[in-house]
Structure 1
Amino acid sequence: MKSMFSHILIGVDGSKESFRALSYAMTLAKQFNGTCDVMYSIPPRVYAELAEREVKIEEPSGDVKFISMLQQEENHIRDLVQDIAAKEGLTIGFHTRVGDPVDAMIEYVSTSGVDLIVVGSSGKGMADRLILGSVSTGIVHKSPVPVLVTKPEA
């Protein structure tokens, strides 16, 4: 019999709220013997700004290469996610999309068998959400599966 939450998707953007959501989702995955995938979405305006900027990377071999700032950030977040998961004895799939985070996550859910989405909330008030938008609110309104929104620390 399939467990209640066998495939969990977590939205991670590098914020402490998103890493709190990751921690909570991993706890659920272990409890229900499920799997986790992380979605890291890059808004198009951020992509356009950072994709062309390069940083110098020195390889352990002494070789030097250049990668985009965007790739460096993605690598950093992926490595953090994988390190946190490894400490919990889990392997987590990591997926990157360029585009609206809400649309990217909903599209992934429709093709992957995800049965729960976990996202963090920054605790913005109603006025901030109207001006800035809210990924967690968008996910809740559009998701075909249950959504768990973790709250910020008090």
Structure 2
Amino acid sequence: MSEHIREILVPVDGSENSIRAATFAMEMAEAMNIGVRLFYVFPAASVEVIGIAGMSRTDIDQAAQAAAQRAFDKTRKGVGEAMIDKVEQETSVGDPAEEIIRFTEDDHSVLVIIGRRGLSRMRSLMLGSVSDKVLRHAESPVTVIT
């Protein structure tokens, strides 16, 4: 790896695994003196369902921001406010794995720290579909937290 890590990207969804990943990321970032960005992706499937329900783009954006804020709040509560004062937050809409991968295409100096499974109902999988896809296709280093 020729570039230095300058930021840690932590995809969050409010799950216990994403909170564990955020906690690990905060500790690592403190030791490395780098920033952390919490990244929430409002799933495209949700947008389609909401769109079918006849909601406007503004309503969809508000729903995405509300869902993101819930995930950020759960993460902050799980990690503890003392460690999270310098953290940035970012929200996107789309396929979660694709949006995380897209983020790594733009900046190879980002370390992705992701929980192995999110809020999916498929608990029997060793790796969640998002973490597996990110691990296989990201252009930056990826650490999966169990």
Question: Per the shorter chain, which TM-score range?
Answer: 0.7 to 0.9
1:41–1:104 CA contact under 8 A, matched in 2: yes
The structure having more radius of gyration, on CA atoms, is 1
Residue 27, structure 1, aligned to residue 22, structure 2 = no
**Equivalent residue, structure 2, for 1:57:** none
Q: Which structure 2 residues correspond to residues 5-154 of structure 1 after superposition, within 5 A?
A: 5-50=5-50, 68-82=62-76, 84=79, 86-88=81-83, 90-122=85-117, 124-125=124-125, 134-151=129-146
- Give SS of 1:29's match: helix
Q: Equivalents in 1 of 2:70, 2:33: separation in Å? A: 27
Name the stretch that deviates more: 84-93 or 138-147: 84-93
Q: Equivalents in 2 of 1:103, 1:27: separation in Å? A: 26
Name the stretch that deviates more: 89-98 or 12-21: 89-98
Please give the root-mean-square deviation of Cα atoms over the aligned residues, in Å. Answer: 2.9
Moved over 6 A (4+): 51-54
- Give SS of 2:23's match: helix
2:26–2:84 CA contact under 8 A, matched in 1: no
State the aligned residue count: 132
Alpha-carbon deviations, 1:118-137, whole Å to 9, x = none? 000136436xx7xxx61110
TM-score w.r.t. the length of structure 1 is: 0.70
Gaps (5+ residues) in structure 1? Answer: 55-66
How far residue 31 of structure 1 moved from its aligned partner, in angstroms, is 0.8
1:42–1:99 CA contact under 8 A, matched in 2: yes
Q: Which is bigger in relative contact order (C-alpha 8 A, separation at least 6)?
A: 2
Q: Equivalents in 2 of 1:69, 1:103: separation in Å? A: 20
Tell me the percent identity: 25
How far residue 110 of structure 1 moved from its aligned partner, in angstroms, is 2.2
CA, structure 1 residues 99+135, in 2 after alignment: closer, same or farther (shift >3 Å)?
Answer: same
More helix by share: 2
